[in-house]
Structure 1
Amino acid sequence: MRFDIITVVPGLLDGPFAHSILQRAQKKGIAEIHVHNLRDYSVNKQKSVDDYPYGGGSGMVMGIDAIARCIEALKSERGYDEIIFMSPDGETLDQSIANQMSSQQNIMLLCGHYKGIDQRIRDIYITREISIGDYVLSGGELPAAVLVDAVVRLIPGVLNDETSALSDSFQGELLDAPVYTRPADWNGYKVPEILLSGHEAKIAEWRHEQALLRTQKRRPDLLED
């Protein structure tokens, strides 16, 4: 699976992709993550990619020329399943979206900055807009990293235990049940006896009950859905 990420601040993405599961996925050759500096596609001397908005108002807007040039260059090399704009007014990222995207081959992500991007880019090129929550960040770089992480960990071969991702919170529209590890008794705080019983069916039943209770308490909206 390949991700191409377009950004004006590529340095913001150095850390997230150089460690842990995302680093492992790249070393195994299971996922490719390529970050493209939008300024490389600017033709003016200053390498600027933004301008004042028509109609006045505060802030600067990312212009159409450099973005279109970059997208067209990438599209000339391969086809893309999705060209995604990370935007606070997009559909909210959830586990079902991550599951669906994990079966795709090539995904392009455009990270906005400043006051946003020229609407014509959204009209002409963007196939999907995704948000990670109802708040505004300085740019789309961190949301892009969140999306890539959520998707890549689902690709077969990325996690050492491939069944682990199937039991994550939200996979069954429920939050995950409580988890414990050794010691079984820590200063009087004990692991539930059922988890020490070795009875797989009863443990599975307990975990499902606990997942329901936790979801009902913390995210009742998931049960309503």
Structure 2
Amino acid sequence: MSFHATVLTLYPEMFPGPLGISLAGRAQSEGKWSLEAVQIRDFAADKHKTVDDTPAGGGAGMVLRVDVLAAAVDYARAANPDAPVLAMTPRGKPLTQARVRELAAGPGVIVLCGRFEGFDERIFEGRGVEEVSVGDIVLSGGEPAALMLLDACIRLLPGVMGAASSGAEESFENGLLEYPHFTRPAMWEGRTIPEVLRSGDHAKIEGWRKSRSEVDTRLRRPDLWERHCDARVQSASGEQAKKKD
């Protein structure tokens, strides 16, 4: 069974976009994943195909109507009932690599892309929609975020990346940022490749990479470093408990 993505959007022409080239594009042509971009406007009931209305309580902008959104979600769910439904919104829970791995291991995903001021809040509880954010930023719509989400999932599908180990040492896979990389030339504008990486000593290289990963995470992403340290403490506590048993 291949991974199937359904994107509910007001701009279906944006898909597959960059997902149609490189690794993702080749994987799609090989049947490893498939995509359906669905026009939300098709589920509007009036002759003008209205998908939005003014905010209750007043305010600027327009809000996507819950009845139209629900009809679109119901259509997508009928075709892929086991796929989770995710709405791309800055109000959502931050997307993590762990959640991406969960999604990639499933039958696919239904992605709801917002526009204007966002979604009628009732859609989330009414249709069990998971709110997801790709960062503390505001985009013009959910489509770029959906492309990011799908790319993260597709690259993890079996047979998509060339080497089985390609994704194992990426940033966030072990809770840390990835170590820095170098390649030829050995000398460039007075800057050299670290000597340890040219030593041929695999144990020293592994130690250097682990150390740099930890240092860079601590300096650049103290939030990740704090979670990583907490996880190590909890893991150690669990191991101690097992030994006592």
Q: Deviations over 1:53-75 (max 9, x none)?
A: 22222211111232222222222
- Does the 8 Å contact 1:49/1:62 carry over to 2? yes
What secondary structure is seen at the aligned counterpart in 2 of 1:39?
helix
Kindly provide the amino acid, as one letter, of the partner of residue 83 in structure 2: D
- Does the 8 Å contact 2:77/2:83 carry over to 1? no
Alignment correspondent of 1:65? 67
Kindly provide the amino acid, as one letter, of the partner of residue 13 in structure 2: G
Alignment correspondent of 1:180? 182
Alignment correspondent of 1:197? 199
What secondary structure is seen at the aligned counterpart in 2 of 1:76?
helix
Alignment correspondent of 1:24? 26
Alignment correspondent of 2:210? 208
Alignment correspondent of 1:7? 9
For the residues of structure 1 that align with 2:77 and 2:217, how far apart are their CA atoms? 42
- Does the 8 Å contact 1:85/1:126 carry over to 2? no
What secondary structure is seen at the aligned counterpart in 1 of 2:168?
helix
Kindly provide the amino acid, as one letter, of the partner of residue 98 in structure 1: V
Q: 1:185 deviation in Å?
A: 2.3
Q: Deviations over 1:76-96 (max 9, x none)?
A: 223133111111111001222
- Does the 8 Å contact 2:105/2:157 carry over to 1? yes
Q: 1:14 deviation in Å?
A: 4.4
- Does the 8 Å contact 1:5/1:36 carry over to 2? yes
Q: 1:187 deviation in Å?
A: 4.0
Equivalent residues, number: 225
Q: 1:212 deviation in Å?
A: 1.1
Kindly provide the amino acid, as one letter, of the partner of residue 23 in structure 1: G
- Does the 8 Å contact 1:80/1:108 carry over to 2? no
Structure with greater helix percent: 2
Q: 1:177 deviation in Å?
A: 0.9
Kindly provide the amino acid, as one letter, of the partner of residue 145 in structure 2: P
Q: Which runs of 5+ in 2 are unaligned?
A: 228-245
Alignment correspondent of 1:83? 85
TM-score between both structures, scaled by the size of structure 2: 0.86
- Does the 8 Å contact 1:84/1:126 carry over to 2? no
- Does the 8 Å contact 2:20/2:28 carry over to 1? no
Kindly provide the amino acid, as one letter, of the partner of residue 162 in structure 1: A
Q: Please state if 1:130 is matched with 2:126.
A: no
Q: 1:44 deviation in Å?
A: 2.2
| Higher relative contact order structure (alpha carbons within 8 Å, sequence separation ≥ 6) | 1
Q: Where does 1:14-53 land on structure 2 (aligned, <5 Å)? A: 14-53=16-55
TM-score between both structures, scaled by the size of structure 1: 0.93
What secondary structure is seen at the aligned counterpart in 1 of 2:225?
helix
Q: Deviations over 1:150-202 (max 9, x none)?
A: 11111221111221111111111111111011122234322112212222222
Task: Judge which range, 199-208 or 69-78, deviates more.
Answer: 69-78
Kindly provide the amino acid, as one letter, of the partner of residue 174 in structure 1: L
Q: Which runs of 5+ in 1 are unaligned?
A: none
Question: Taking every aligned residue pair, what percent have the same amino acid on both sides?
Answer: 38
